[in-house]
């Protein structure tokens, strides 16, 4: 999967990571161990979901990502991003309108947003998101995943986005190959990042 992600990223946007690891408390119980398996230049989106140990785990992830040469973004929480020294923040679709404000508050940081349709992509782009993670592309085990977009619909969304689009949802080494030739700027996964 990493090779496909690098290929997509080089073609679509050489300044962004090609591979994105999205943490989940239930499905990725040891995200620090996963970071050690990521290729240099990847990114991690740390989603704490209000966990009481968020700062402690975030700092452990920060240490691991620095050692691995991997970017670290905090999910939804700008205060957490500051406390752990994250490289940026990833916003859920409902908070995408804050992208420009966060970029101005933290110059040089990477701000991304989630989107599930063309309207959400436009809102994120207009707000100043530097990349958009669009999901679900394929069937996903995520409890919040809706109906999968499929390759053709994802391609149409990515082509008209006007902002780099990263594919998320059901991404693994098998499904990643189906995205070659699309406008994907990268690949994001929860469990699929290190799965064979």
For the chain, give the percent of residues with pLDDT over 90.
Answer: 78
Average pLDDT of the residues of the chain:
91
Query: How far is it, in rounded angstroms, from Cα 162 to Cα 158?
Result: 8
Q: Both tokens of residue 164?
A: 């780099």
Confidence of residue 158 (pLDDT cuts 50, 70, 90): very high
**Omega cis (within 30) before 110:** no
Which residue's structure tokens are 């189906």?
178
Residue 66, SS3 per DSSP? helix
Q: Does the pLDDT value for residue 20 go beyond 60?
A: yes
Q: What is the pLDDT of residue 10?
A: 53
For the chain, give the percent of residues with pLDDT over 70.
Answer: 89
Q: Averaged over 151-160, what is the pLDDT? A: 95
Q: What is the pLDDT of residue 145?
A: 61
Query: How far is it, in rounded angstroms, from Cα 187 to Cα 77?
Result: 22
Among 91, 88, 122, which residue's Cα sits nearest to residue 107? 88
Domains of the chain: 2-189 (3.20.20.70)
Q: What is the pLDDT of residue 156?
A: 96
Taking the CB of residue 19, how many other CB atoms lie within 10 A of it? 27
Q: What is the pLDDT of residue 143?
A: 61
* pTM reported for the whole predicted model: 0.92
């Amino acid at each position: 999967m990493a090779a496909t992600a690098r290929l997509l990223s080089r073609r679509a946007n050489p300044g962004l990571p090609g591979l994105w690891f999205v943490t989940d408390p239930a499905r990725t119980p040891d995200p620090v161990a996963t970071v050690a398996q990521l290729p240099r230049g990847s990114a991690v989106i740390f989603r704490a979901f209000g966990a009481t140990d968020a700062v402690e785990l975030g700092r452990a992830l920060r240490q691991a990502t620095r050692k691995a040469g991997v970017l670290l973004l905090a999910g939804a929480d700008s205060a957490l991003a500051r406390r752990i020294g994250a490289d940026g923040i990833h916003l859920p679709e409902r908070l995408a309108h804050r992208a420009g404000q966060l970029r101005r508050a933290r110059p040089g940081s990477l701000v991304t947003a989630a989107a599930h349709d063309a309207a959400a992509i436009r809102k994120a782009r207009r707000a100043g998101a530097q990349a958009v993670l669009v999901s679900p592309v394929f069937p996903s085990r995520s409890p919040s995943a809706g109906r999968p977009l499929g390759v053709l619909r994802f391609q149409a969304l990515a082509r008209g986005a006007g902002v780099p689009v990263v594919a998320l949802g059901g991404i693994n080494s098998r499904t990643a190959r189906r995205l070659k030739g699309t406008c994907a700027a990268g690949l994001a996964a929860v469990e699929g990042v290190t799965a064979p």
